[in-house]
Amino acid sequence: MALKFRIPGLLAALLLLLFCLARPFWSEPTQAQVKDSKNVLEEQVFQDATASFALFKDLTGDVQYRRDSVYPVVLKAASQQEAIEWLSQGFCEDLARSLACYYLAWDEDLGRLVVTPEESIPMLTTQERTSTSITFRNDRQARLECLYYNCYAPGDCWRYIIETKKSGDRWKIYDLTLEQTSQGQEF
């Protein structure tokens, strides 16, 4: 039994073979692919960080002002534990606990959680994207650094350092640092 090859079929088979040999399936990623992947990862880290700050703002900003309370009453959480659980969506549990304990208090007379009058943490928003640098310590930890100018005095410069780590499919904040720096020593 002899195999019969027709010219168009043979040409198609040769072209397919040449195509496969010219571009292996397991080729190394190009520099552009690696850069695109890093940019996507940086955006995910930044978006998750801003979403975490939005959770904090929602918790401390969604309040009810009552005549029988000096302090605004929290509506998103009925207890410290609920507030910690709410914040733990975007912050590691220890930091969520610290934030809840510092900014919220239990009002015995009302039997409700209230916001205490403290200066708030700086809030990272999407507007700070261009002034934020993101570096990766490894594939599970990233550091965001954002610069703020003329905050407390003319000519001052502050660096906000936000440490994040991967937790499931999300990047959670585990440390916050605000430090004064000299202009010209930003990053």
Distance CA 105, CA 82 (A): 13
82 and 60 fall within a common domain: yes
Would you give the DSSP letter of residue 159? E
24 in a domain, yes or no? no
104 and 37 fall within a common domain: yes
Token duo for residue 186: 């930003």
Where does residue 65 rank: exposed (0-12), middle (13-18), buried (19+ CB within 10 A)?
Answer: exposed
Percent of the chain scoring above 90 in pLDDT: 65
Q: Of 72, 96, 115, which residue sits at a domain end?
A: 115
95 in a domain, yes or no? yes
82 in a domain, yes or no? yes
Number of domains in the chain: 2
94 and 161 fall within a common domain: no
44 and 76 fall within a common domain: yes
List the single range of 13-27, 62-76, 154-168 with lowest mean pLDDT: 13-27
Which residues lie closer than 8 Å to 57 by C-beta, 6 or more apart? 123
Mean pLDDT, all residues of the chain: 85
Would you give the DSSP letter of residue 154? T
Which domain does 79 fall in, by range? 32-115
At 185 the pLDDT is 58
Which residues lie closer than 8 Å to 182 by C-beta, 6 or more apart? 157
Binned at pLDDT 50, 70 and 90, residue 2 comes out as: low
Where does residue 127 rank: exposed (0-12), middle (13-18), buried (19+ CB within 10 A)?
Answer: exposed
pLDDT in tens, 58-104: 999 999 999 998 999 999 999 999 999 999 999 999 999 999 999 99
- Among 185, 170, 187, 145, smallest CA distance to 45 is for 170
CB atoms within 10 A of CB 79: 15
105 and 130 fall within a common domain: no
150 and 82 fall within a common domain: no
76 and 110 fall within a common domain: yes
List the single range of 34-48, 131-145, 170-184 with lowest mean pLDDT: 34-48
pLDDT beyond 90 at 31: no
18 in a domain, yes or no? no
